[in-house]
Amino acid sequence: MREFLAKLLFCDVRDLDNVLLHIPIGIIVVAIALFSPLVAVAFYYGFIKYETVQRRQVRDKCFPDIQGSLIGIALLAIPLAIAGVRIGI
């Protein structure tokens, strides 16, 4: 099951936990963007900066974390776009 889910999310099985853990970050970014796109961009920029700084200090891989957040963005943004929901009130 883990192998199938890893292939579905285009990640390595070893990185699957990190990818799944960061999907809610992307969902939160889209939810924030519904009310204030500028705040959503600032929030996501802060997340990306945090991950890259953490990569330098802890020496871990930041790509699976960022990949998970991008999957979360796609999971909510694509259906909202299809439904015709406008970003920012």
DSSP 89: -
DSSP assignment of 35-67 equals T-HHHHHHHHHHHHHHHHHHHHHH----HHHHH
Please indicate, yes or no, if residue 67 is contained in any of the structural domains: yes
Is the Cβ–Cβ distance between 16 and 5 less than 8 Å?
A: yes
Structural domain boundaries, residue 75: 2-83
pTM for the whole thing? 0.89
Domain total in the chain: 1
pLDDT by residue, tens only, the chain of 89 residues? 999 999 999 999 999 999 999 999 999 999 999 999 999 999 999 999 999 998 888 777 889 999 999 999 999 999 999 999 987 76
